[in-house]
Amino acid sequence: MKQGSGDVNVQTSRGGEQVGIAYDETHRVWLLRTPHSAYAVACPSSVTVHHQEIPDPLLHVYWGEPVTLADAVHIGTVKRQRWSRRGFESPLDGAEEYPVRGGIRFGRAALAARFGATRSIEWRLVGSNTTRDGDTHQLTVEFADGPLHLALHYRIRADTDVIERWAVVTNTGDTPIELDRFDSATWTVPEADEYRLSHLSGRWSAETQLRHQILTDGEFVIGSRRGTTSHQANPWYAIDDGSATEESGTVYSGALAWSGVWQLATQKLSHGGVQVLGGVGHDGFGPYRLAPGESLTAPVFAGLYTADGFGGASRAWHAYQLRHVMPNPDADRPVLYNSWEATGFDVNEENQKALAARAASIGCELFVMDDGWFGARVDDHAGLGDWTVNPERFPNGLAPLIDEVHRLGMDFGIWVEPEMVNPDSDLYREHPDWVYHFADRTRHTMRNQLVLNLARPDVADWLYDRIDALLSDHDIQFVKWDMNRPFTEAGWPAETDNPERLWLDHVHNLYAVLDRLRAKHPGVAFESCSGGGARIDMGILARTDQVWTSDNTDAPDRLIIQHGYSQVYPARAMSCWVTDVPNFLDPRTVPLRYRFHAAMAGVLGVGGDLSEWSDADLAEATDLIAEYKTVRTIVQHGQLYRLRPPSPGLSAVQYVAPDRSEAVVLAYLGAQRFGERPPLLRLAGLDPHARYRVDGVDDPLTGAALHGFGLPLRLNGDYDSTLLHLTRVGD
């Protein structure tokens, strides 16, 4: 589709900036303008590479602070003039917006395909289109090489600097096309003297730990081959020049909205420049066979430019997810109690009612019964897959327990792990081929369970029917959806034409099941859990109300985990529990107050054995929960400032209401040394001209004083902590 020069679907954002898509027909340059950034690509009719004409290359032009369309045209021309002329390199490497396999290229390809007798792609531009739907603007650029058709999509909105990108590939021929790699997008970082990569890594019980490293020539790859987002890595990255701080400096970041196997590859080219390619699949994934007439849509790989440091990037990501990703984002999440650590598998109507009474007495608003309520589930060896109420433990069904929980003024929630099956279950005995396996090979269990082949439509329908029946037959308001076993022996013997599709179809069908359940049961909230934090990403956040951050509830450890989590995901979705000490991982003991304050940094929950808590503990918990309820809207919906990162000394986070009328500070002292006082805590994000009343301070102080001088903290002794509530009292 031909476009004329000039602004296409341009609007004024809330801040008065021009937002939209502009196009220069002569130079075939598109400029995407967000409230505080610009992004440009060009598709000249041809470029010369080693004295040969390459038709219709899609080139990256610019990403950074706002510029004009004329600027973008000039920048694109200068960049091509500066191309490397060395005979052993390709100027296309690091310059293309979406590199493909074939031609004079040596870098990593975002798209690698085989069709007919060729493994090399030589595409031509076949059209482009820009559309506007309210505050949303979209650009689509389309290419083709024989039967291989590719559409690259860009989407921007008037209230965010996040740019959403994804790709769609279609087989227009009459024979299959094999895809060896199909990324969502490639993000190109502007030239810098140095590149520092930040990313999240870890393991079970130690998820989302923030890492930094200086990039050297070559590739750095993170991803998951486990069927889930994984404990080991998370699909987010940030790149700066090594000088950015929490609140200043240019940061380029990206996040992939996908809950299965994935890969982010950062390549630093020998002649300069850095690109990040990301999408579904892992090394060895594929080939994925694209049938005649079939299209495959890659998940969104979103990118963000900010000049306000890592904190500014985080706040932009949080706002974007709350506005455009998460369901019901404006609702406050309730304080929950979960029965797992109190009763384990040994659940029954009597002990759950007793725990519910204690949970209600301290102010909990949601009671969640965990594992052990169904089938022959007395331990982890049996029962998964048989989602019917155990008649011995609940002789009158779940209704008496649910009614009592509601009578106590709480909502009722329940735990399920519906993607799994125990070999010792009626489901497995009836359908042994419903699990991932290889024909004539041993089916190895982990955690005494196997993974159901949710890629199969009949399994997906069965799963939906089981959970739908559970929700239809019971007055349930919350589902904790667990997924504890990674994929191994991921085979699908019945799918002979395209067995590798299981890696994608499992996630697509999971999304479809959750979407159907949410549509039919709009009053039910869902939590994503996967052995802790192994399924946290923007794909699952689009379908769940919160995520279980980690099985590790040790408060000092959780500060580190929550610090990494907060780089990209909002507190509104971060489920945090107060549990007993010492926990199953760490022998240390920390005060109940410190544990509560660590959990108050997100969606507060309680998971300890309340039957063993003293009257003093219950009274203190009651006061702390009441205090959390007075500030939770600010925590769950406010802007986050990481004042001091987790350390053996002082750590602190701050949440500021959108209108800056209130703020909440949570501060934690690790170990006190040499009798020294903790340093003054400088606050952030407040109106410098307004006066704020601070808990424990006699006279109101201006935002400028709280930022420039700070607050003395009354913390004394190891693992002391405090919550401060600030309220604006005038200008």
For the chain, the helix, strand and coil percentages under 3-state DSSP, each to the nearest 5? 20, 35, 45
Closest CA to 449 of 464, 466, 430, 435: 435
Q: Is 659 a catalytic residue?
A: no
Quick one: tokens of 103? 């031609």
Q: Is 482 a catalytic residue?
A: yes
Pairing of strands 662-669, 721-730: antiparallel
Please tell me which residue in 24, 482, 554, 580 is annotated as part of the active site: 482
Residues of the chain with pLDDT under 70: 1-17
How many of the other CB atoms lie within 10 Å of CB of 1? Answer: 9
Radius of gyration of the chain (CA): 27
Q: Name the CATH architecture for the domain at 6-324.
A: Distorted Sandwich (2.70)
Quick one: tokens of 220? 């750095």
pLDDT of residue 2: 47
334 Cβ neighbours under 8 A, 6+ residues apart? 364, 365, 366, 411
The answer to whether 629 is a known ligand-binding residue is no
51 Cβ neighbours under 8 A, 6+ residues apart? none
The answer to whether 447 is a known ligand-binding residue is yes
Phi-psi region of 674 (alpha: psi -120 to 50; beta: other; left: phi over 0): left
The answer to whether 119 is a known ligand-binding residue is no
Partners of 115 in the β-ladder: 118
Do 6-324 and 336-637 show the same overall fold?
Answer: no
Phi and psi at residue 658, to the nearest 5°: -55, -35
How many of the other CB atoms lie within 10 Å of CB of 497? Answer: 8
How many of the other CB atoms lie within 10 Å of CB of 429? Answer: 10
What's the rounded Cα separation, in Å, for the pair 684 and 232? 32
Longest dimension (CA), the chain: 83
pLDDT of residue 10: 63
How many of the other CB atoms lie within 10 Å of CB of 23? Answer: 19
The amino acid that residue 439 corresponds to is A
The answer to whether 548 is a known ligand-binding residue is no
Phi and psi at residue 311, to the nearest 5°: -65, -40
156 Cβ neighbours under 8 A, 6+ residues apart? 19, 20, 21, 32, 33, 34, 136, 137, 138, 163, 164
Q: State whether residue 492 is helix, strand or coil.
A: coil
pLDDT of residue 3: 58
Partners of 603 in the β-ladder: 575
Q: What is the CATH number of domain 655-730?
A: 2.60.40.1180
Please tell me which residue in 93, 505, 551, 720 is annotated as part of the active site: 551
Domain boundaries, given as residue ranges, for the chain: 6-324, 336-637, 655-730
User: For the segment 99-155, what is each residue's pLDDT rounded down to a tens digit?
Assistant: 999 999 999 999 999 998 899 999 999 999 999 999 999 999 999 999 999 999 999
Quick one: tokens of 277? 């390619």
At the top level of CATH, which class does the domain 336-637 belong to? alpha beta
Identify the burial level of 238 via C-beta atoms within 10 angstroms of its C-beta, where 0-12 means exposed, 13-18 middle and 19 or more buried.
Answer: buried
The answer to whether 482 is a known ligand-binding residue is yes
Identify the burial level of 392 via C-beta atoms within 10 angstroms of its C-beta, where 0-12 means exposed, 13-18 middle and 19 or more buried.
Answer: exposed
